[in-house]
Amino acid sequence: MSTVINPTAMTRRMAAMFSLRTNFLGGPSPRLKPSIATTATTLSTVRALASSSSSSQASGSNQHLKLGFLGLGIMGTAMARNLVKAGYDVTVWNRSASKCEALVSEGARRGSTPKNVTEMCDVTFAMLADPVAALEVALGSDGALGGLGSGKGYVDVSTVDAGTTKTVCEAVKSSGSLFLEAPVSGSKKPAEEGKLIFLAAGDKELYDTVVPMLDVMGKSRFYLGAPGNGAAMKIVVNMIMGSMMASFAEGLILGDKAGLDPQTILEVLSQGAINNPMFSLKGPTMLARNYAPAFPLKHQQKDLRLALDMSDKLLQNIPIAAAANEVYKVAKGNGLGDDDFSAVIEAFRNK
C-alpha cells in the first residue's frame, strides 16, 4: 500500500524543524525574530525539500531538539514519558535517581545533575514540588543555571509563586538563555494522557519553539505575557479547585449525618448546574475512602498557602480560601499529605 503524503502538513513540519535549528543550533540570535522576507525564503526552501524528500517524511526522520526534564514525580514522569514516546531525545534527572530507571529503560538518557542535563540539552523542562525545590534545582550547587548559556531555553512547569518565577527568570536570562514559565492545570491522568493545560508566560520566542512539545504533553495552552502571570493564573485556578473540593467534602459529610444516601447526593449534583468533572471523578472514590494520589493533598495545601501569600501582597481578602486552607492543614496534620487531595473529607469526620 502506498503512503499518502500531505504536502501542507509536511511543509509546516519542516518549517518548524528549520526554525528550531536556526534558533538553537548556531543560527541567528534566538532573540531576533525572522523577517517576512526570511520567512518567505524559508517556506520556499521547505516546499522544495518537501517535493524531493517524501521518503524522509514517510520514515518520520525528524531532527528534534535535545530535551532535558528535571523532576520525576507523579506529573514529571508522565510528562517526560510522553516526550520520549513522541520520539524526542530526552535526558532526565531526579533527586532520587531510582525514579529515572523506568524512563531510561524506555529510551531516555540519565543526567547526573541538573547542570549536567542543561549542558547536554537545548531546552530543559523542570517540574519541581515547590518554590524551595524550584530554586535549589535551578540555582543551587550543580544547578541547572550552570549548564545554561546563549541559544538554550529553560521551561519551568512547576507550580510556584510569581516571586520565585521572577528570580529564576532573571538568573536564566543573565546566562544568555531564554526563559518560560508554563505551570500546568491537570493531575495524574491528564498528564498520562497528554491532556494537560499549559499556562505559559515569558520569552515568546521560546514559547513558539516549545509549542510542539507542549502539544505532546497537553490538550491546550495559553500564552499570558510577562513572567509571573503563569504562576498567578495557576495559583488562582488551584485556589478555586481546593476551595471547591473542601466544600464538596463538607456537603457529603453533612448530608450523610442528616441521613441522606451519599450516592444519591452525587446523582442529584450530577443533574444540576453545579455538575462538574471533579465531582463526578472524585465523588465515588471519596465515598469508598480510596485516596490513591493523583494530586497529593500536601501540594493542594501548598497552593492555597501561595494564594494566601499573593492575597496579602495584593491586599485582597480571600476568606473562603483561608478557611479551606485550615481544613487541608488538619488533614495533612493527620498524616494524609501524600494521599489525594480529596482525602480532605477525612478532616470533617468526627473522630
Q: Which residues are catalytic?
A: 234
Segment holding 154, helix H or strand E: strand 153-156
- List the one residue out of 60, 67, 101 whose CA is nearest residue 84: 67
Q: How many residues does the chain have?
A: 351
Distance CA 154, CA 132 (A): 17
Distance CA 155, CA 159 (A): 12
Output the DSSP codes for 269-294: HHHSTT--HHHHHHHHHHHTT----S
Grid-cell match 483561608, residue found: 322
Rounded to the nearest angstrom, the gap between the alpha carbon of residue 44 and the centroid of all alpha carbons in its chain is 35
Positive or negative, the CA dihedral 174, 313, 228, 133 is positive
Distance CA 157, CA 173 (A): 17
Whether the Cβ atoms of residue 112 and residue 140 lie closer than 8 Å to each other: no
Instruction: Find residue 155's DSSP bridge partners.
Output: 125, 180
